[in-house]
Amino acid sequence: MSRPEHPSLWQDLRATSFAQGWFDARGLRTRYLRSGERGLPPLILLHGIGGHAEAYARNLASHGRFFDTWSIDMIGHGWSDKPDHPYEIRHYVDHLLRLMDAQGWERAHVSGESLGGWVASRLAADHPDRVDRVVLNTAGGSRADPAVMARIRSLSTRAAEDPSWDFIRARVEWLMKDPADATPDLVACRQAIYSQPGFVRAMANAMVLQDMDVRTRNLMRPEDYARIRAATLVLWTSDDPTADVTEGRRIAESIPGAAFVVMEGCGHWPQWEDTPTFDRLHLNFLRGLPLDAPLA
C-alpha cells in the first residue's frame, strides 16, 4: 500500500469535513474528533490505553459518510478531563454513558481498540439496551499476562515521565508491526499530550489496570462475554503484541453469534496500519453487510 512521502495527520484528515471540540459529558470535559451529521446513526470510536482520538484519524472520512462518528479522548486520556483517581473499567463505562446521555443517544454503535475494546465489551455486557453493534479490535480485558502488562506499564510510564522524542516513539512503535507506521506527526501529537502538566499522575491512574489484583477484578470472563446480545465483530491481527490470534478467536467463541476476522500484516492498530482493509471490514459489519463485500 502506497504512503505519502511525509505522512501527517492533516493529510489523513484532508479528505473529510470534521470537527474537533470539547463538550460537557455530565461533568467530564470530553474532547472529540467528529465526522458525519446528526441524524445518522451514532458511532463511538475508543482508543487504547495511553491513546487519544487521533488513533482513528485515518478512518473518519469513510465512516462519516454513513455514521455520526465520534472519536473521543476517554477519561484520563488525551485532552479530556483527568480526575485524580485510579481508572478502572467502570469509570470508562460511566464516561461513555455520560457522553451518550449528553448527546441524547439512547443507543449507539461502539468500536474499541485494546482498552477501548475492553470498555466496549463491558458496556455491551452490562448495558445491552444502550448498544447497537459492537466491534472489539485487538481488545484487551480477556486475560492477565504479566509480561505484556509489565511491558505496557514500562513503556507508558517512561514516556509520560520523560516525554522525549525517543521514548514517545518507542511507545508508538510498539503498537505497529512496521515501525515506519509510527509517523513523526503521530509521535509529535502524542508527545504534546504526554507533556501536559499533571500527565504523569494521569498515566499512573490509567496504569492501575496493569496491577494484577486490579486487572483480575476488571477482567471480562466467558460468562460476561456470553451476556453480550449485540451483534459483535471480533477483529484481530496476525502480529498483535498483546495476544495471538488464538485469544481473539476464544473471545469470539464466547460471544453468541459473534463474527471473527483476522487482518494480516498488522500489529495493534489495524485501523491505522491498513486503513482500506479495516474500513471495508468495519463499515460492512456496522452496516449489516457481508464482511467481504466491496466498500461502496
Which residues are CB-neighbours of 106 under 8 A, at least 6 positions away? 100, 129, 130
The CATH number given to whatever domain includes residue 230 is 3.40.50.1820
Flag whether 270 is in a domain. Answer: yes
Place of cell 525517543: 166
Give the model confidence (pLDDT) of 94-148 as tens digits: 999 999 999 999 999 999 999 999 999 999 999 999 999 999 999 999 999 999 9
Q: Which amino acid is at 137?
A: N
In this predicted model, which residue has the larger pLDDT, 286 or 296?
286
User: pLDDT tens digits for 260-269?
Assistant: 999 999 999 9
Average pLDDT of every residue of the chain: 96
pTM: 0.96
Cα 15 from Cα 18, distance rounded (Å): 9
Judge whether 50 lies within some domain: yes
Whether 235 maps to a domain, the answer reads yes
| Distance set, CA 231 to CA 12, 93, 135, 150, 255 (Å) | 29, 19, 9, 33, 9
Does residue 37 fall inside a structural domain? yes
36: domain range?
18-142+222-286
**What is the rounded distance in angstroms from the CA atom of residue 231 to the CA atom of residue 23?**
29
Dist CA 19 CA 287 (whole Å): 23
Residue 100 in domain: yes
Q: Examine residue 295 and state whether it is found in any structural domain, yes or no.
A: no
Total count of domains within the chain: 1
CA gap 210, 149 in Å, rounded: 5
Question: What is the reported pLDDT for 1?
Answer: 45
Q: What percent of the chain has pLDDT over 90?
A: 94
| Per-residue pLDDT tens digits for 213-271 | 999 999 999 999 999 999 999 999 999 999 999 999 999 999 999 999 999 999 999 99
- What is the SS3 assignment for 134? strand
Examine residue 183 and state whether it is found in any structural domain, yes or no. no
Residue 131 maps to a domain: yes
Is the pLDDT reported for residue 5 higher than 70?
no
